[in-house]
Amino acid sequence: MQALIAAPDTAEGHRLAEVPEPVPTPGQLLVEVRQSSVNFGEARFRAGMPAGTVLGYDAAGYVVRAAEDGSGPAVGDRVVAFGPGTWAERAVFDVDSVARIPDGLDLAATAALPMVGLTALRTLRGAGPLLGRRVLVTGASGGVGRLAVQLARLGGATVVASVGSPARGEGLRDLGAAEVVVGLDDVREPVDVVVETVGGDHLTRAWSLLKPGGICQSIGWASGAAAVFAPNSTFALGEPRRLQSFGDTSRPGADLATLLAFVAAGDISLPVGWRDSWKRVDDAIEALLGRRVAGKAVLDID
């Protein structure tokens, strides 16, 4: 089958190649991938992967072989899935890494969901109850950001969305942001929760905006810049503030089903900001890293 694989020796860092068919274990199913999407990590770090690694983590498609042990979706079911090796015509997934796509939902758009949806859902859930809380989302124009804005609002929070320019803030109020700010200098009121995806000065500034008892979920470093905390800036009397890492993508199937149910109910929308053939993956990566995609870039595996 055809797949996009890591090729550290090329200028692009990847190439389309013929690779062996993936073989499911008894607890796995085989999916014909119709759409995948580009995540920041694949865009930025693919050349650092071992040569030949099939890239990609998000998939939407059809089950072509059900799990041998009888669990999970059946042949022909439409599924969204999370796991390695999705920039490919076919991919295998553990049964608890997939969710059936509800009738009526556009299969292609759901490929935008897995990585960014799981990350936004799990970091917000890990921050505790959101009802009446003030939540700051940095990098709100991006994939994780757009999901975090919507899910925080759905959870009852007042959402402050931080972006890099006014143009990048377009549409975020419609997704549920109460305030859209460029950078963090205009955030006047402290916040209970930060969903932080940019790193560098955004992390230190966001930390300084936390209320006592607040939590900063440090998800990513899209800026690639170092964060320098001023002396004593992590010292405070009273209820402690927390800075927490995130990287838990284990057993994602149930949370994918939850996210799909929100989409089906019209509670959140899927952030597809670019869509084209996987043969144009270079353009997708360039647009994403150039901060020109409003959300996710979806690849048609055609």
Report, in Å, the least distance between residue 37 CB and ligand NAP: 9
Kindly state whether residue 231 participates in binding ligand NAP, applying the rule CB under 6 A. Answer: no
Verify binding: residue 67, ligand NAP, rule CB under 6 A.
no
Which residue among 198, 259, 260, 284 contacts ligand NAP (CB under 6 A)?
198
Residue number with CB closer to ligand NAP (36 or 141): 141
Residue 92 or residue 112: which is nearer to ligand NAP going by CB?
A: 112
- Given a contact cutoff of 8 angstroms between Cβ atoms, the answer to whether 68 and 51 are in contact is no
Choose between 72 and 139: whose C-beta lies nearer to ligand NAP. 139
- Show contacts of 129-132: CB within 8 Å, 24+ apart: 129/155, 130/155, 130/156, 130/157, 130/193, 131/155, 131/156, 131/157, 132/156, 132/157, 132/158
Half-sphere exposure of 170 (CA within 13 A, CB side): 6
Q: Is 219 in the site for ligand NAP (CB under 6 A)?
A: yes
Find out whether 296 and 40 touch, Cβ atoms under 8 Å: no
For the bound state, the minimum distance from the C-beta of residue 289 to ligand NAP, rounded and expressed in Å, comes to 7
- Contacting ligand NAP (CB under 6 A), which of 99, 216, 288, 298? 288
Selected binder of ligand NAP within 197, 205, 227, 285 (CB under 6 A): 197
Continuous H helices in the chain: 40-45, 107-110, 114-126, 143-154, 201-208, 253-264, 281-289
Nearest to 217 by CA among 172, 190, 247: 247
User: Under the criterion CB under 6 A, does residue 117 sit at the interface with ligand NAP?
Assistant: no
- The answer to whether residue 262 forms part of the interface with ligand NAP (CB under 6 A) is no
Residue selected from 82, 221, 262, 278 as contacting ligand NAP according to rule CB under 6 A: 221
Tokens of 264: 């089906």
| φ/ψ of residue 118, rounded to 5 | -60, -40
Instruction: Quote the distance between the C-alpha of residue 267 and its chain's center.
Output: 18
Is there binding between residue 53 and ligand NAP (CB under 6 A)? no
Tally DSSP H helices, then E strands, for the chain.
7, 15
Footprint of ligand NAP on 11-50 (CB under 6 A): 39-41
What are the tokens at 139? Answer: 């990098």
Residues in contact with ligand NAP, total (CB under 6 A)?
26
Can residue 97 be called a binding residue for ligand NAP (CB under 6 A)? no
Shortest reach from residue 253's CB to ligand NAP, in Å: 17
- 247 is an interface residue for ligand NAP by CB under 6 A: yes
Q: How far apart are CA 14 and CA 51, in angstroms?
A: 9
289 Cβ partners below 8 Å, 6+ apart? 40, 43, 44
Among 142, 155, 176, 252, binds ligand NAP (CB under 6 A): 142
Q: Looking at 25-33, 115-123, 129-137, 251-259, which segment touches ligand NAP (CB under 6 A)?
A: 115-123
**Which helix (H) or strand (E) covers residue 135, if one does?**
strand 134-137
Quick one: 40 or 207, whose CB is closer to ligand NAP? 40
Which residues contact ligand NAP by CB under 6 A?
39-41, 115-116, 119, 139, 141-145, 163-164, 168, 197-198, 219-223, 246-247, 288, 291
